[in-house]
Amino acid sequence: MKILVTGGAGYIGVHTILALVNEGYIPIVVDNLSNSSIEGIRRIEKLKNTTIKTYICDIRDAEYLSQIFSENDIQGVIHLAGLKAVGESCSDPISYYDNNVSGTLVLLKTMEKLGVANLIFSSSATVYGNPKTLPIKEDAKLFPTNPYGQSKLMIEKICQDLANKTKLASKNAWKIALLRYFNPIGADKSGVVGEDPKGTPNNVMPYIAQVASGKLERLSIFGNDYPTKDGTGIRDYIHVMDLAEGHVAALRWVLSIKPLISECRAINLGTGSGTSVLELLSIFEKETGVKVPYVYSLRRSGDIASCFADPSLAHSLLGWKASRNMAQMVSDTWRWQEQNPSGYGE
């Protein structure tokens, strides 16, 4: 079964491609390579001894996208393409709404035109903003605090409206899973693919890995005065392969819904437990034996104290549960970093 994966060359994309191949699906990649390279896909081809059809295409290019759908018998779409840096979304909101929202509209129009109504969408825990209660359930108040999070919420609402529209459909009823990711880290255990951020990493795990490898001097911990156990921010870190397998579980669920039934469900993908930055650092040092120098800096605007999921819906609805622990997340990150000090290289 052919599944189109937009943004398939990116960090979560390559791991999702791997999970799809492991489960016997045929992924077709669409990516404009604005934040990735083709190398990740090539490495998966080598690892799995297969060929992955890849189109260098911007999802806002309606004509090319239609052609790709027409050339391939696509049964469902995993939509990961988008811009994802919170800070950049505040300084350049138009690019974020254009890429994320307008891009998704072009994709949805194309899917509707060509009768493909099965969709898995990459949403984010940022749609919750600063949560009132923890762990966060899917019915918590949605209050994104930056344009990136707003763009994800807008797309969620568009998807909900589409599913409402086809509630009484005679054919092609939309079936949509809105996956709200918490904090993906780690890499496939092979060490051949991983996170390869352009420039200085925005996220803590690749930052720690680059300090440990000597590429960066020291880690800046943004804020040690949060109301948490040690004053540093708490997040729900999830192994990227668990997350990738969550997409396959969501795809299976979507494909199992009867043709005339339309569905649109928001589903948290997290582990359900929170880890502070200092705890993450200490696990990293224990697992790798490498000391990571750090300094405390001021809080970053828009950051929150604590955020972790209630992942029970994913378990009951999709039969999926994260299975890899923090030690695996950290040692898999380190293997990737050590084997690929320059990421995918040029």
Ligand X SMILES: NC(=O)c1ccc[n+]([C@@H]2O[C@H](COP(=O)([O-])OP(=O)(O)OC[C@H]3O[C@@H](n4cnc5c(N)ncnc54)[C@H](O)[C@@H]3O)[C@@H](O)[C@H]2O)c1
Known catalytic residues are 148
CB of 291 to ligand X, least distance (A): 26
Please choose, out of 33-41, 66-74, 249-257, 312-320, the segment that lies near ligand X by the rule CB under 6 A: 33-41
Supply the DSSP symbol for 298. Answer: P
Binding string, residues 163-182; x marks residues near ligand X by CB under 6 A: ------------------x-
d(CA 185, CA 181): 11
Which CB sits closer to ligand X, 183 or 271? 183
Instruction: Determine, following the binding rule CB under 6 A, whether residue 42 of this chain makes contact with ligand X.
Output: no
Stretch that binds ligand X, among 5-13, 21-29, 157-165, 300-308 (CB under 6 A): 5-13
The distance of closest approach from Cβ of residue 31 to ligand X in the complex, given in angstroms and rounded to an integer, is 4
Sites for ligand X among residues 114-143 (CB under 6 A): 122, 124
> 5, 21, 31, 329: which one contacts ligand X (CB under 6 A)?
31
Interface with ligand X, residue 13, by CB under 6 A: yes
- Phi, psi of 56, deg, nearest 5: -85, 100
Binding to ligand X by residue 184, rule CB under 6 A? yes
Residues 89-118 that bind ligand X (CB under 6 A): 99, 103
Q: How many helices (H) and strands (E) does the chain have?
A: 12, 14
CB of 175 to ligand X, least distance (A): 20
Total Cβ atoms within 10 A of residue 295: 9
Cβ of residue 52: shortest distance to ligand X, in angstroms? 14
Is residue 268 near ligand X by the rule CB under 6 A?
A: no
For residue 281, state whether it binds ligand X (rule: CB under 6 A).
no
- Regarding 11 and contact with ligand X (CB under 6 A), the answer is yes
Min dist CB 327 to ligand X, Å, is 20
Residue at shortest CB range from ligand X: 10
> Which one of 43, 84, 235, 335 is in contact with ligand X (CB under 6 A)?
84
Q: What is the largest CA-CA distance in the chain?
A: 61
> Does the footprint of ligand X cover residue 58 (CB under 6 A)?
yes
Yes or no: say if 332 and 258 are a contact pair by the CB < 8 Å rule: no
Dihedral of CA 16/21/26/28: which sign? positive
DSSP letter at 141? Answer: P
Which is closer to ligand X, CB of 11 or CB of 284? 11
| Structure-token pair, residue 271 | 């582990």
Q: Are 218 and 293 in contact (CB under 8 A)?
A: yes
Question: Shortest gap between Cβ of 124 and ligand X (angstroms)?
Answer: 4
From residue 171, alpha-carbon distances to 78, 99, 112, 145, 255 in Å are 21, 30, 11, 38, 14
Which helix (H) or strand (E) segment holds residue 156: the answer is helix 147-165
Count residues binding ligand X (CB under 6 A): 27
Residue type at position 236? D
Nearer to ligand X, 9 or 140 (CB): 9
Stretch that binds ligand X, among 10-18, 20-28, 221-229, 248-256 (CB under 6 A): 10-18
113, amino acid identity: K
Contact 118, 76 (CB under 8 A): yes
Contact flag: residue 33 with ligand X (CB under 6 A): yes
Helix or strand holding residue 238 (H, E): strand 237-239
DSSP string across 252-296: HHHHHS-TT--EEEEEEES-S--EEHHHHHHHHHHHH-----EEE
* Cβ neighbours around 48 below 10 Å, total: 14
Nearer to ligand X, 290 or 313 (CB): 313
Which amino acid, 39? Answer: E
- The residues of the shown chain that bind ligand X, judged by CB under 6 A, are 6-7, 9-13, 31-36, 58-60, 80-82, 84, 99, 103, 122, 124, 181, 183-184
